[in-house]
Each structure stands twice: as C-alpha cells, then as structure tokens.
Amino acid sequence: PCRSFHGYNRLLTSQIISHYDSVNQYKKELPEYFNFASDVLDEWSQLEKDGRKPANPAFWWVNEEGEEVKWSFEELGLLSRKAANVFSEACGLQRGDRVIAVLPRVPEWWLLNVACMRTGIVLIPGTSQLTAKDILYRLQASKAKGIITSDTLAPAVESVVPDSQFLKSKLIVGKRSRDGWLNFRELL
C-alpha cells in the first residue's frame, strides 16, 4: 500500500486521511479521576505481587561511581506511599500544597515526584544550581509550604527562610541530620 518515491516508502494521501478518520471516530472515555501512582504504578505492583508479571525494575539509577539503586514496581509503590506519608504526617502538607525540590538527580528525586502525584501535592522542581536569591523568588512566587533539598544547598535555603512567610516544612535528603530540618531518609 506504500508507493516508492526516491527510494523511500511514503503513505498515499488517501491512506493518511483514512487513518486520521479512524482515529477521530474512536470515542475516548476519559476517567473522571486519574492518578498515575495509583492507577498505573499500583496496578503494575499488584501484577508483580500476584505473580502475573516478573519483578522487573521500574526504576534503575546508576551514578558515576557505579552505585546502583533498583526498585521493582512493588518497591517503588511502597516507597512512594511512605514518602506520601512523610509529606502528610511529618510535614503537614495536603492536596494542592506546593513543594519545591532543589535536588540533584538522586533516586529520591523520582520518589518525591511519585509521592507528590499520589498525594496531589504540587511539585515544583528546581535545579541544584539555584542561588539563594533564586530560591527566595521561587518560594515567594509559588507560596510553597515545603522545600526539599540536599545538605549542600541547605545553607542557601536557611539564608532566605526569614523572608519566606508560607514555608512550613524543610526536608533534607542526605545522610546527615541538620538542626531545624526533617531528614527525609530517616523519616522514610
């Protein structure tokens, strides 16, 4: 059904129109409520639990030193539920609240994304190259109630906290604790 034109196969115009019509005639039923974490991730997790699907990595992270983190769908689902509990219980955040994440691409970065989807918390990602002035601007403009960062960026956040009237909780992703901060890994 394809005609060769200068050595390449090309669809005939009638075929393209026919395909377009068939796509447009399909009536898509959109769900009233969709949540990626519960509707997709938890479904795949259940398939693993039931033995209907092998435990393949849902997440596989490797850093420059060769350290690996591998999570199956079941593990990612469980960890994201724990992270969601950290947000709601330890941080007092709820659906619609905004959280800024200023982190390098560590495994927790993806975990926080899924936890925010699960809870309805709005995640505002920020690069780890932000300065204190940039962080302050984002905190004020977004009216974020929480911030998540690494121990190397925590001093920049601390320098602007007095000017951040909406900020309720500060989470640190690191091996060490810091005064005035909740340690995400310990709470998880």
* Count of structural domains, the chain: 1
d(CA 150, CA 133): 17
53: containing domain? 36-186
d(CA 77, CA 171): 21
- The answer to the question of residue 69 being in a domain is yes
Q: What is the pLDDT of residues 39-50, one digit of tens each?
A: 999 999 999 889
User: What is the pTM (predicted TM-score) of this model?
Assistant: 0.80
- The answer to the question of residue 64 being in a domain is yes
Q: Are the C-beta atoms of residues 97 and 122 closer than 8 Å to each other?
A: yes
What integer best gives the mean pLDDT of the chain?
88
d(CA 102, CA 117): 17
Residues contacting residue 144 through CB under 8 Å, at least 6 positions apart: 97, 98, 99, 100, 124, 138, 164, 166, 167
- The answer to the question of residue 13 being in a domain is no
- The answer to the question of residue 152 being in a domain is yes
User: How high is the pLDDT of residue 1?
Assistant: 47
Q: What is the CATH number of the domain that holds 57?
A: 3.40.50.980
User: How high is the pLDDT of residue 56?
Assistant: 85
- Cα dihedral across residues 48, 53, 58, 60: positive or negative: positive
Say if residue 7's pLDDT is above 60: no
**Matching residue, tokens 């999570």:** 71
Percent of the chain with pLDDT over 70: 85
| The pair of three-digit structure tokens given for residue 23, joined into one six-digit string | 């796509």
**How big is the CA angle at 32 (ends 30 and 36), to the nearest 5 degrees?**
80
Of 137 and 33, the one with more pLDDT: 137
- The answer to the question of residue 176 being in a domain is yes
Q: Are the C-beta atoms of residues 146 and 97 closer than 8 Å to each other?
A: yes
Residue 99 identity (one-letter amino acid): V
Of 176 and 123, the one with more pLDDT: 123
- The answer to the question of residue 74 being in a domain is yes
Backbone angles phi, psi at 159, to 5 degrees: -70, -20
Interval 64-80 mean pLDDT: 94
Q: What is the pLDDT of residues 129-171, one digit of tens each?
A: 999 999 999 999 999 999 999 999 999 999 999 999 999 999 9
Helices (H) and strands (E) in the chain, counts: 8, 9
Say if residue 6's pLDDT is above 70: no
- Chain-centre distance for alpha carbon 13: 41
Say if residue 12's pLDDT is above 60: no
Q: Are the C-beta atoms of residues 166 and 139 closer than 8 Å to each other?
A: yes
| The pair of three-digit structure tokens given for residue 18, joined into one six-digit string | 């026919």
- The answer to the question of residue 6 being in a domain is no
- The answer to the question of residue 151 being in a domain is yes
